[in-house]
Amino acid sequence: MNIQENISLKKYNTFGIDVLAKKFVSINFLHELKEVVSTEKDIFILSGGSNMLLTQDINKLVVHINNKGICIDNQDDNFVYITVNAGENWHDFVLWCVNQNYGGIENLSLIPGNVGTCPIQNIGAYGIEVKDVITKVEALEIATSKLRTFSEEECKFGYRNSVFKNELKGKYIITSVSFKLTKKNHKLNTSYGAIESELIERGITKPNIKDISNAVISIRNAKLPNPKEIGNSGSFFKNPVITKEHFLKLVEKFKNIPSYIISETEIKVPAGWLIETAGFKGKRFNDAGVHTKQALVLVNYGNASGKEIFNLAKKIQEEILNMFEIKLEIEVNII
């Protein structure tokens, strides 16, 4: 293991924010992680760096989780059970599954980040959440250096949420994630409007999982900025859930407000629409901006600091509160 000093984290976070790590170590094997954790407790865990906004230098030991490996634990005619080490890139894993004709995560194509972080915020897109296919998560407890296996239930998954974002935040390091995927009779989810129309456009009437993955990739490429080209962290805010009364009041003023019914009393409204309606879509303040094609995504055009992006987020939150009386919640971790 090579512990380095004063390392720039620019290439380790998808926002491309240039802050320094006082100390930095990249972990390739579980035994290395155990060794680090047993000697140093004041650590900062960095995985794919795709769901964080770094607003300051990190005066701790930054531990970069980079353990790779995909293992088929078991399979029968219908299902395959796979364990994937935390440092594997998420999209590479999705493509590997699609190529083997393993179904269940094709709708989650092209989501940035690593496998180890997918359970933390229960990544989701186009009608699927990763919790639907996770069977267990293995994680190392920092305090004891002991491994613990979390069942799907123990992960307490919710919308962009899990136990790892709440009561266990900062206490465990996810080392691997296990999935149950289909080998045949795939449950295809094309109900999300954009997928269906994309398939129709491609003349596909009987899609397979590769067709769906390709459709998702092309929808995402058209709407979401590629972090390799423009720094970003996907959706910066969560879609807010408001009461039905509140919604009915808003509809009087904003006739075309989109909505999804959550329950008899609750309605979800897309934050992207609120931000666009408030006039922020495509706005740029120095190198911090709101993406031109999806207002829910904040972007770094090159040299924005984390503080500049955070200030823009606060400005948006204020405006949305004034205009719609809705408190937008930030989805990305602010460091």
Assigned token pair, 312: 């823009």
Closer to ligand EPU by Cβ: residue 80 or 133: 133
224/214 Cα distance (integer angstroms): 15
In the chain, DSSP finds a helix count (H) and a strand count (E) of 7, 20
3-state secondary structure of 74: strand
Burial of 40 per CB tally in 10 Å (0-12, 13-18, 19+): middle
Report the residue count for the chain: 335
Least distance (Å) from ligand EPU to the CB of residue 290?
Answer: 8
Q: Are strands 70-75 and 52-53 parallel, antiparallel or unpaired?
A: unpaired
Of residues 62, 51, 60, the one with CA closest to residue 114: 51
Among 160, 176, 233, 308, the active-site one is 160
| Furthest CA-CA distance within the chain | 61
**328: DSSP letter:** P
Least distance (Å) from ligand EPU to the CB of residue 53?
Answer: 13
Closer to ligand EPU by Cβ: residue 237 or 310: 237
Among 26, 233, 235, 305, the active-site one is 235
Least distance (Å) from ligand EPU to the CB of residue 210?
Answer: 19
Residue labelled with tokens 């994309």:
198
Q: Would residue 264 show up in a list of annotated catalytic residues for this protein?
A: no
Burial of 289 per CB tally in 10 Å (0-12, 13-18, 19+): buried
Least distance (Å) from ligand EPU to the CB of residue 54?
Answer: 17
Residues that bind ligand EPU (CB under 6 A): 125-126, 224, 234-235, 238-239, 258, 270, 272-273, 276, 281, 294-296, 331
Q: Where do the DSSP E strands lie in 18-157?
A: 20-27, 43-46, 52-53, 58-65, 70-75, 79-85, 124-125, 128-129, 134-141, 147-151
Closer to ligand EPU by Cβ: residue 170 or 258: 258
Residue labelled with tokens 């496998």:
115
Least distance (Å) from ligand EPU to the CB of residue 247?
Answer: 15
Closer to ligand EPU by Cβ: residue 96 or 159: 159
Q: Would residue 235 show up in a list of annotated catalytic residues for this protein?
A: yes
Q: Would residue 160 show up in a list of annotated catalytic residues for this protein?
A: yes
Of residues 31, 30, 32, 24, the one with CA closest to residue 3: 24
Closer to ligand EPU by Cβ: residue 91 or 238: 238
**313: DSSP letter:** H
Least distance (Å) from ligand EPU to the CB of residue 273?
Answer: 3
Closer to ligand EPU by Cβ: residue 64 or 238: 238
79/82 Cα distance (integer angstroms): 10
Residues annotated as part of the active site = 160, 235, 331
